[in-house]
Amino acid sequence: MKKLDVYQQLLNSKLTVVVRGNSPEQAIETAEACIRGGVKSLEFTFTIPQAEKVIQHFSNYDGIIIGAGSVLDSETAKLAIHSGAEYIVGPNFSKETARLCNRYQVPYIPGCMTVNETIEALEFGSSIVKLFPGQAFSPSHIKAVKGPVPQVEIMPTGGVDLDNIQDWFRNGAVHVGVGGEVTRPAQQGNFEMVTANAKLFIEAVEEVFV
């Protein structure tokens, strides 16, 4: 899929669920539960054992965008891309990872906390930056950043829950990342609850854009 197409799908889907797991099998079950709940974008972190195999498993699912998360370096990004990841997400900004993703024309969404980091990410080709950790900021932070840097698109991740998700969007977020608020029941094997949580988040997002 072309880079611009992936960005457009991310902008359309509004919500990515960040999937972690103690095993590839647990991560796969968790992701499938999210899909049943209506999630269209999944980010598999490289904290999952054999994360590349999980990415490969979902790489041909119709209508689902697959990302790789917790990508700290260009070597991991390359492995993720060759495994089928359509976008790369990091907790930090890495020039080497940005160059690698540009080479393969794969979107890179780096984690940024400061305006300096944000501008550097833009200069290296990122169209969306991840505000991380989101719980360190209030939703109004996005408006503050977009004052001097109106061209930046921001995706808060961490600290996004059902109580504040709509505030994030109303303050200018183009997309949000949610992890444990959706997937936590998977740790006890309760995948039905993961699906139920996913549905609640999808409904909350849809209310903002009706």
- The predicted-structure confidence for 104-142, as pLDDT tens digits, reads as follows 999 999 999 999 999 999 999 999 999 999 999 999 999
Residue range 3-23, pLDDT digits in tens: 779 999 999 999 999 999 999
d(CA 184, CA 56) in angstroms, rounded, equals 23
The dihedral sign for the CA sequence 38, 43, 45, 50? positive
Q: 2-207 adopts what CATH topology?
A: TIM Barrel (3.20.20)
Cis peptide before 185 (omega within 30 of 0): no
Catalytic residue among 43, 86, 153, 181: 43
Q: What pLDDT does 3 receive?
A: 78
Residue range 20-68, pLDDT digits in tens: 999 999 999 999 999 999 999 999 999 999 999 999 999 989 999 999 9
- Report the alpha-carbon angle 21-47-84, nearest 5: 90
* Amino acid occupying residue 208: V
Q: What secondary structure letter does DSSP report for 136?
A: G
Verify whether residue 146 is a known catalytic residue. no
Determine the average pLDDT of the residues in 170-189: 97
Q: What pLDDT does 192 receive?
A: 98
Q: Pairing state of beta strands 111-112 and 108-109?
A: unpaired
d(CA 86, CA 111) in angstroms, rounded, equals 17
CA dist 135 → 72, 148, 187 (Å): 21, 22, 22
H-state helical runs in 65-190:
74-83, 95-104, 115-123, 140-146, 165-170, 180-183
Q: Contact at 8 Å (CB) between 47 and 22?
A: no
Verify whether residue 52 is a known catalytic residue. no
pLDDT at 2 over 90: no
Catalytic residue among 14, 86, 130, 153: 130
d(CA 90, CA 69) in angstroms, rounded, equals 6
Per-residue tokens: 90: 């990091």
